[in-house]
Amino acid sequence: MTAADLPQARVVGLAELATVFLRIGATAFGGMWAATQQLEAELVHKQRWLAPEEQQALMVAATVIPAPKFLAFAGLVGFRLRAWPGSMVALLALVTPGALFVLLGAMLLNPATLGEPLVLIRRAVGIAIVGLLFGNSWHQLRNARLRGWRQAAGVGLTLAVAAAAMAGVPLLLAAIAGFAIGAVVLRPPAAGGS
C-alpha cells in the first residue's frame, strides 16, 4: 500500500483515535521500535490511516522530538489526522494504560501494604535497576554512529558529563555544557569524509 492507495478525505473521529491508541497503549511492550509491526498492522493495514512509508517517516521524525519516542510518534500521528486535538487525544490514550498500571502497582505494592517481604524484593529489584542503568549507558555508547577519533571524543564527553555530575555539578548544567561542546566537536562528517 502507498499513500495514493489511502482513502481520500476520511475524517477520523477523536473517539476512534482514542480507542485505537488505547488499544496500542495496552498491548504494546518494549517501546516504539519493538512495536513497529503492531503499529503497521493497526495504523496502516487495519485502519488505513497511514501509508507504510508515512509511518516510517513519522517514526524517524519522532526520534528528533525531545520527548519519549513512542509518545512523540503518537503525537505526530494524532496531529497528522486531527491537528492539535488529535495529537492530545492520541497522546493521552497511549499513555493511560501504562500510567494506570504503574500507579496501581505503586499503590498496591508499597511497603505500607506488603511490609517486610517486599523489602528484600525491592532491594533485589533496586540492584537490578542499577545494573540496568549502567548497561543502558554502555549500550548507548556501543550504538553510537561515530567511529575513530569522533567516537573517542564522544566517550570522553560521556565521561566528562558523568564525572561532573558525580562531582556535584548540577546535572542539567553538565548536560547542557555537554550538548554545546558536543555540537562543536562532534560535527557530522562531511560527505565522503571519515
Partner 1 sequence: MSADGVGALEILGVVLVSCLFSLGGGNGPLAVIQDRWVSKGLLDPALFAWAIALGYLSPGPKACFVSGVGYFLYGVPGAAAAIAGLVLPTWVGSAGVAYGYSKLAPLIKAISLPAGFVIAGMIAAAAWGMAGPMALGTVEIVAAGMVAVAVAWRNLEPAIVVLGAALAGLAWSLLA
Residues 99-128 close enough to bind partner 1 by CB under 8 A: 99-103, 105-107, 109-112, 116-117, 119-128
Q: Which of residues 45-64 bind partner 1 (CB under 8 A)?
A: 61, 63-64
| Identity of residue 176 | I
By CB under 8 A, tell whether 190 contacts partner 1. no
By CB under 8 A, tell whether 6 contacts partner 1. no
| Identity of residue 164 | A
Task: Return the number of the residue (1 or 176) whose C-beta is nearest partner 1.
Answer: 176
Q: Which of residues 13-32 bind partner 1 (CB under 8 A)?
A: 24-32
In this structure, the chain runs to a length of 194
Taking the C-alpha atoms of residue 162 and residue 126, their distance in angstroms, rounded to an integer, is 20
Give the binding-site size for partner 1 (rule: CB under 8 A). 100
- The angle at the Cα of 64, spanning 11 to 179, to the nearest 5 degrees, equals 155
Q: Which of residues 66-105 bind partner 1 (CB under 8 A)?
A: 66-72, 75-76, 78-80, 84, 87-88, 91-92, 94-95, 97-103, 105
Q: Give the shortest CB-183-to-partner 1 separation in angstroms.
A: 4
Taking the C-alpha atoms of residue 94 and residue 116, their distance in angstroms, rounded to an integer, is 35
- The angle at the Cα of 170, spanning 169 to 171, to the nearest 5 degrees, equals 105
Task: Return the number of the residue (15 or 130) whose C-beta is nearest partner 1.
Answer: 130
- What's the burial of 102, exposed, middle or buried (CB within 10 Å: 0-12/13-18/19+)? exposed
Task: Return the number of the residue (107 or 190) whose C-beta is nearest partner 1.
Answer: 107
Q: Give the shortest CB-93-to-partner 1 separation in angstroms.
A: 10
Report which of 190, 103, 116, 102 is spatially closest to residue 150, judged by C-alpha positions.
190
Task: Return the number of the residue (24 or 44) whose C-beta is nearest partner 1.
Answer: 24
